[in-house]
Amino acid sequence: TVLTDSNNFEVKHPLNSKWTLWYTKPAVDKSESWSDLLRPVTTFETVEEFWAIVQNIPEPHELPLKSDYHVFRGDIRPEWEDEANAKGGKWSFQLRGKGSDIDELWLRTLLAVIGETIDEEDSQINGVVLSIRKGGNKFALWTRSEDEQALRNIGAKFKQVLKLTEDGHLEFFPHSSANERHAQPTIVL
Amino acid sequence: MYKYTIDELLHLKPSETMTPNFDAVEFRSIIEKVKQLLALREEEFHSAHPLGYR
Ligand SMILES: [Zn+2]
Ligand SMILES: [Zn+2]
């Protein structure tokens, strides 16, 4: 399916949703509040817009520590208290080792999310987060519910996208346990 | 529902760099400034604590 832009005959491929890219800037001084640091960057709703954005922003390996990229559906804020997220959770994957393939794996994850191949019709996926941290970089796939069957299907597909052959690397955490010090995953794949 | 496989999306990637729908120059410069500031902090720490651990 294509849309034709009548102004300049450019072919555009529509995505199933509008998506918003957000960035969390690392704090550089103590006066900065969380709301100063988390900002929407841009929105996109076609494959063409997506590629133009990706081509012009730093890749994961170029980001400073404590940065996050968040790509969320529509107006959903990348905060677990947002009502779209509150009853759900996240599939969390921690990258091991030097992470030289972080750029490729992040791109694959984004493509599976915006292309809607990581879930069924009526997708549970609200968004995806990349976190750059000294202790280990992470990807998190945010869902709108804790429907176990749907979550297991998503988890299995996420494993394929990440080319994971071993078990134990994908953990699901409900957002309701977000404030617990030592939250345990409710599902591990 | 609009669905695209990973391969289909990769196939649609343009060969040239396209102009994005926002000011990416400004965005990249914000990140660059953060990196410079953090690198400066590292340097200051190491010269003040030559035997210090991070
Ligand atoms: Zn097409
Ligand atoms: Zn250091």
pLDDT in tens, A17-27: 999 999 999 99
**Residue with the two structure tokens 């591990």:** A188
- The answer to whether A150 and A120 have CB atoms below 8 angstroms apart is yes
Q: Is the pTM here over 0.95, yes or no? A: no
Rounded to an integer, what distance in angstroms lies between the CA atom of residue B22 and that of residue B34? 20
Strand partners for A39: A23
Rounded to an integer, what distance in angstroms lies between the CA atom of residue A154 and that of residue A120? 8
| Disruptive mutation site among A56, A113, A158 for chain B (greatest number of B CBs within 10 Å) | A56
pLDDT tens digits, one per residue of A15-66: 999 999 999 999 988 888 877 899 999 999 999 999 999 999 999 999 999 9
Does A27 lie at the interface with B, CB-CB under 8 angstroms? no
Tokens of B41: 């902090």
Burial track A35-61 (b if 16+ CB lie within 10 A, e otherwise)? eebbeebbbbbbbbbbbbbbebbbebe
pLDDT tens digits, one per residue of B4-54: 999 999 999 999 999 999 999 999 999 999 999 999 988 888 888 877 665
Q: Name, in order, each residue with C-beta under 8 angstroms of B53's C-beta and a sequence gap of 6 or more.
A: none
Which residue in B6, B27, B28 is closest to A111 by CB distance?
B6
| CA quadruple A174, A180, A181, A186: dihedral sign | negative
Residue of A137 and A166 predicted with greater confidence: A137
User: In percent, how much of chain A has pLDDT > 70?
Assistant: 93
Strand partners for A128: A71, A141
Rounded to an integer, what distance in angstroms lies between the CA atom of residue A145 and that of residue A122? 12
A16/B5 touch (CB, cutoff 8 Å), yes or no:
no
**Distance, CA A60 to ligand 1 centroid (Å)?**
28
Q: A73 falls in which pLDDT band (50, 70, 90)?
A: very high
What are the chain B neighbours of A16 within 8 Å (beta carbons)? 1-3
Rounded to an integer, what distance in angstroms lies between the CA atom of residue B16 and that of residue A52? 9
**Could you tell me which of A69, A73, A64 has the C-alpha nearest to residue A39?**
A69
- The answer to whether A85 and A144 have CB atoms below 8 angstroms apart is yes
Does B35 lie at the interface with A, CB-CB under 8 angstroms? yes
- If DSSP codes are grouped into helix, strand and coil, which group holds residue A48? helix
Helices (H), chain A: 34-37, 47-56, 83-86, 102-114, 148-161
